[in-house]
Structures are given as C-alpha cells and as structure tokens.
Amino acid sequence: MEILTYNFFQNAFLIGILASIACGIIGPFVVAKRISFLGGSIAHSSFGGIGLAYFLGFNPLIGAAVFSILSALGIGAVSKKFKNREDATIGAMWSLGMAIGLVFIYLTPGYSADLFSYLFGNILMTSSADIILAVILNIIIITSVFAFYRWFTAIIFDEEFAEVTNIAVFPIYLFLLCLVALTIVILIRIVGVILVIALLTLPAATAQTFNKTFPRIILWSILFGCLFTTAGIFLSYHLNLPSGPMIIFTAVFVYAGFLVGNLFPVIARKPQRPKQSRD
Amino acid sequence: MSNPIITIKNLSFAYQRENNILEDIDLEVFGNDFLGIIGPNGGGKTTLLKIILGLLKPDEGDVLVFDKKPKEARDLIGYVPQFLEIDLDCPVSVLDIVLMGILGRKKIFQKYNDQDLKLAEEALKFVDIYNLKNKQIGELSGGQRQRVYIARALIRKPKLLILDEPTASIDEKSEKDFWELLKEINKNSAIIIVSHDIGVIFKNVNKIACLNKQLYCHDATEITSEILDKTYKCDIEILGHGLPHRVLKKH
C-alpha cells in the first residue's frame, strides 16, 4: 500500500472520485437519452480548445471547457433547426475540433510532451489546479441537477409531451448538453478526449442493468465510477501500463460481466417485460 | 348552444410546398363532444392534432382553441400520444410519469407537494392502476401503459382530452375497458380521438370526422358508405378490414 504515500497518487485517487461523481450524475441521463455519441463528439471537439490553450499559453482544461460548451450548443442548435441532420453534425463537430487542435499544436513552437496525456489521459499528472477545477465543476453539476432533475427526466422520457405541457424543452436540452460538456472536461484529465466516451457511459450503463429508477442508477454509477478509476490506477501501477487504458479495460470488463450476468436470472434478476400486446 | 372550444376555419397545411397534407379544413368542437377522427394513413390525422396542440403552425386559416391561440390554450388540454415512440427502458416509475403531467406548472427547485401527490393518486385510481405506481414503465403490459399515459393527461384536469391512435397495442379486453373509461372522462371533458380502428370507434363516439386531406364531419349516426368511400377514395383494403358493412347499413 506504499502507493498511497505518494502525493501524485493521492491526487490521482482524488480526481478519480471527483470524476466519478460528475459522470455518475450526468452519465445516466446520457445513457437514457441515448446521446453517448453526442458526448463523444463534444469530447473530441474540446481538443480544439486544448490546442488553442497550448498556443496562447493558458490551462488547457479551460480551453477544453470553452470548446466543449460551444460544440454542445452548436450540435444542439443545428439538430433543432435541421431535424435529421444531428448525426452528420455530430460527426462534423467531432473532426472539426480535432482539426483545430492539431493546427494550433503545429503552430506552437517547442515540443508538447504532455499533449499525449490530453488525448489518452494520465491521471498521475493531475495537478492541484486540476483538482480545484474539478471541485468547481462538480458543484455546478450537482446544483444544476438538483434544480433540474425532474425537467431532465421529463424531456428524456417524452419530449413532445413536455412541449405540449409548456415545458421549455429546447433550453433545458441545451442546458443538459452543457452539463455533459463540463463533465467531459473533468474526465479528460483521467482518460483523455479519445477514451472519454467509455467513462461517461459505462458506469451508468452498468448500473442500469440492475436498477430501474434514476436516483438508484445515479448512486450506483458513482460507485462504479470510483471502482473503475481506483482499480485502473492500481492495475496501472502494478503492471506498469498507462492508466487511461487500464481504467477503460476495467470498465468494459465489469460492464460485460453484468451484461452476461443478466442472461442468467439467478445472478441478476432483471424484471421480465410482459409481452407487448396480448396477455 | 354554447360556444365551440375549437374553431378551425379554412385551414391548410403542407410539410413541403405545394403538397398540401391538409386542405380547407373547417371544424368546430364543443365542450361535451366525443369526436372520432378517422381516415387512411397519411391522411393528415396526426398533423391536424399537432396543429391543435400548437406543435405545428398552419400555412393558411385560423385555429382557435378555447378562444386562444393553440399554444396559449395548452394548459386546458390533456394529450395522450401514440406510444410507439416511447422508450420502454427509460428508468422512470409510473408515479414519476404521471407527475410529469403537471411539471410544466412548477418552478425550478419547487418540489411536488402533498396536493400534487394527491392529484396523482386520484388520476391513478381513476384509471385503476394505483397499485402499479412504483413499477418501471417497461414492466407494464400495453393496456396498463395506456392507462399511465391517460393518467398523465388527466392529472392536468383537462377540459379537452386528445388521443392519437390509442388502441394500437392493447388487447381486446383492455380495449373494452378503455372505451368505458373514455365515456366516464367525457362527462367532464371533450374528447378527440384519432384512430384507424373504424369498427369500434363508431359504437363509442358521438361525432365522426373523416379526414383525407379534406375533412367531412358528421354525427356518428348519419355516416354512410358513400362518405367513407369519399374519404378513403375507394381503398377497399383499408375499409374491408375491421369494418363490417352491416354495421354501416343499419346505422
């Protein structure tokens, strides 16, 4: 257990927990609304902000936050204005952000050693500034979900009905996407823009295999997030392999376990859905 | 006679230019009406409902609902959508869903109070599924889910209930109970129901509108096969299915 005595490991575990809280709260909405790939697009487009921050010399996570929110609003607005174009927009934003990031990094003189860590994550490089940023973002996320929880579930369950009962569906949807963007900013430190999508969705997807309501799914998602990040750090330390992929391996392995477990009712009892029409 | 709650005059609507899906529609609905709208697929039934609900804007003509613009009248309307589009995996309980009916009247941070919960209980008991209130939506049968959506509309205490193809995925026994339920609701509220299940609808509504781009409105008792022919443009296949001709002749 000497691993815990190193300062950078302590930081790593701490950001792991902070990230688990954020993605444990937001992930279930992403999974239920089936917008995982919208999340992936926001994550990749944030790379543009990271590149810009390198070029101008400020904290890359600030750049990532600005770009991810802009792309969230962009995708949301385009998919509202041009229905049936959401898919292509997601793809466009995905690549556009990466392209912008690469151009800025090419223009930045010198060698960007830790750039790789923004692409694939390196939880061991977590600084105190990163932790403070993560705490602030968590406070924003928790407060927002506390205020808007029922509105989020309403637009996820039935957008049209929400619309005809005078709920401001579009602004609320955009706001949810902004919270997804902020969550992604925290996750970038841990698994990087390329692997974010797994950590955003897998804790929630795993929790949803044996829970039926949002509050329980959120609780279990946070626990699974903590499990995945912590186990990933230990694996990374003992096997001397990069932390990001170890966290993803753990997450996918556990998720697959629960999926397979669901096939056998003894291990995890999934509610049997009655037949659609006649009974 | 009292004023109509819905007045539609010269309404036309097209999704694409010069390809009208609704043309010159005139319609009046009164406070105690039980109106069935029938017509072939693509005849504009759902489009007409969406205009009444203020989800779509007409290209031409006037629509007044409770003497207001459709969007401003929404608070008096309960809506039961086609339920094919709803995600059964969504992790929400029956009670959560019913309460969504009055969420639009709440402010942020404002919790549901005892009175809201009482309204939900009333609505659930009215449709006879109070015992299922903690179930997740995917655990219910088609007929039970139907009742959840009706309870979600009823918690709003609507003066007009709009149902879009509500009988599509329920079995025969549930369907019979379903019509009884609607008749009960009709005592306090007008009802508009869209369906292509022509046989059953005749027996239960007091007004029929046949919609296929244009709309012909009749008392349920005076419908003739010529009217239907005109609506369906002699589409025998749709007609022959579920519409015994003797029922028509007898009426």
Strand B60-65's sheet: what is its strand order?
Answer: B20-29, B6-14, B60-65
Residues 6+ apart with CB under 8 A from B114: none
3-state secondary structure at position B165: coil
ipTM value of the model?
A: 0.84
Return d(Cα A214, Cα B190) in angstroms, integer. Answer: 35
- Average pLDDT of every residue of chain B: 83
Reported confidence tier of residue A209, pLDDT bands at 50, 70, 90: very high
Return d(Cα B1, Cα A142) in angstroms, integer. Answer: 55
Q: In Å, what is the CA distance from A273 to each residue of A155, B21, B135, B136?
A: 23, 38, 11, 10
Angle at A32 between CA A218 and CA B142, to 5 degrees: 115
Q: What is the pLDDT of residue A265?
A: 64
Return d(Cα B17, Cα B47) in angstroms, integer. Answer: 15
3-state secondary structure at position A6: coil
Query: Quick check: B124 and B98 in contact, CB under 8 A?
Result: yes
Q: What is the pLDDT of residue B245?
A: 35
Of residues A71 and B141, which shows the higher confidence score?
A: A71
Q: Can you give the pTM of this predicted structure?
A: 0.87
8 Å CB contact of A157 and B55: no
Note the pLDDT tens digit of each residue in A211-242.
Answer: 999 999 999 999 999 999 999 999 999 999 99
Domains and CATH numbers, chain A: 2-263 (1.10.3470.10)
Q: Which of A162, A189, A188 is nearest to A173 (CA)?
A: A162
Return d(Cα B156, Cα B150) in angstroms, integer. Answer: 10
Return d(Cα B101, Cα B195) in angstroms, integer. Answer: 23
Share of chain B above pLDDT 90, in %: 42
Q: Which of B135-149, B180-194, B210-224 has the lowest mean pLDDT?
A: B210-224
Residues 6+ apart with CB under 8 A from A205: A27, A31, A255
Q: Which residues of A touch B160 (CB under 8 A)?
A: none
Helices assigned H by DSSP within chain B: 45-52, 94-100, 114-126, 142-154, 172-185, 198-204, 225-232, 236-240, 245-250
Query: Quick check: A67 and A48 in contact, CB under 8 A?
Result: yes
Structure tokens at B6: 């819905």
Of residues A254 and A273, which shows the higher confidence score?
A: A254
The residue-averaged pLDDT of A141-167 equals: 94
Mutation target for A interface from B15, B100, B171: give the one with most A CBs within 10 A. Answer: B100
Q: Which residues of B touch A211 (CB under 8 A)?
A: 91
Of residues B247 and B169, which shows the higher confidence score?
A: B169
Q: What is the pLDDT of residue B243?
A: 41
Reported confidence tier of residue B231, pLDDT bands at 50, 70, 90: low
Q: Is the pLDDT of residue B230 over 90?
A: no
Return d(Cα A99, Cα A78) in angstroms, integer. Answer: 20
Note the pLDDT tens digit of each residue in B23-81.
Answer: 888 998 998 899 999 888 888 888 999 999 999 999 989 999 999 999 999 999 999 98
- In chain A the first and final C-alpha atoms are separated, in Å, by 57
In the numeric block, the tokens 């955003």 are attached to: A200
Angle at A257 between CA A254 and CA A258, to 5 degrees: 95
Share of chain A above pLDDT 90, in %: 67
Q: Which of A101, A116, A90, A1 is nearest to A54 (CA)?
A: A101
Query: Quick check: B183 and B11 in contact, CB under 8 A?
Result: no
8 Å CB contact of B100 and A158: yes
Q: Which of A201-205, A210-214, B34-38, B105-109 has the lowest mean pLDDT?
A: B105-109
**Residue in B96, B102, B139 closest to A153 by CB:** B96
Q: What is the pLDDT of residue B221?
A: 61
Partner A, chain B 90-149, Cβ-Cβ below 8 Å: 90-93, 96-97, 99-106, 108-109, 136, 138-142
Neighbours of B203 (CB within 10 A): 10
Secondary structure element (H or E) that encloses residue B23, with its range: strand B20-29
The residue-averaged pLDDT of B125-141 equals: 92
Return d(Cα B203, Cα B245) in angstroms, integer. Answer: 14
* Cβ-based interface (< 8 Å): residues of A facing B: 28, 32, 34, 146-148, 150-151, 153-154, 156-158, 160-167, 208, 211-214, 217, 271, 273-279
The residue-averaged pLDDT of A262-268 equals: 64
Chain centre to alpha carbon of residue A258: 20
Q: Is the pLDDT of residue B247 over 50?
A: no
Reported confidence tier of residue B96, pLDDT bands at 50, 70, 90: very high
Q: Is the pLDDT of residue A111 over 80?
A: no
Q: B28-61: b or e for each residue (b if 16 or more CB lie within 10 Å)? A: ebeeebbbbbbbbeebbbbbbbbbbbbbbebeeb
Note the pLDDT tens digit of each residue in A20-53.
Answer: 999 999 999 999 999 999 999 999 999 999 999 9
Q: Is the pLDDT of residue B242 over 70?
A: no
Residues 6+ apart with CB under 8 A from B125: none
Note the pLDDT tens digit of each residue in B175-199.
Answer: 788 888 899 999 999 999 998 777 7
**Residue in B75, B81, B103 closest to A154 by CB:** B103
Neighbours of A201 (CB within 10 A): 25
Domains and CATH numbers, chain B: 6-216 (3.40.50.300)
Query: Quick check: B45 and B13 in contact, CB under 8 A?
Result: no
Q: Which of B195, B243, B213 is nearest to B205 (CA)?
A: B195
Of residues B43 and A169, which shows the higher confidence score?
A: A169
Structure tokens at B136: 């997740």
Structure tokens at B63: 């629509």
Q: What is the pLDDT of residue B250?
A: 34
Q: Which of A57-66, A160-169, B78-87 has the lowest mean pLDDT?
A: B78-87
Q: Is the pLDDT of residue B229 over 60?
A: yes
Q: Which residues of B touch A155 (CB under 8 A)?
A: none
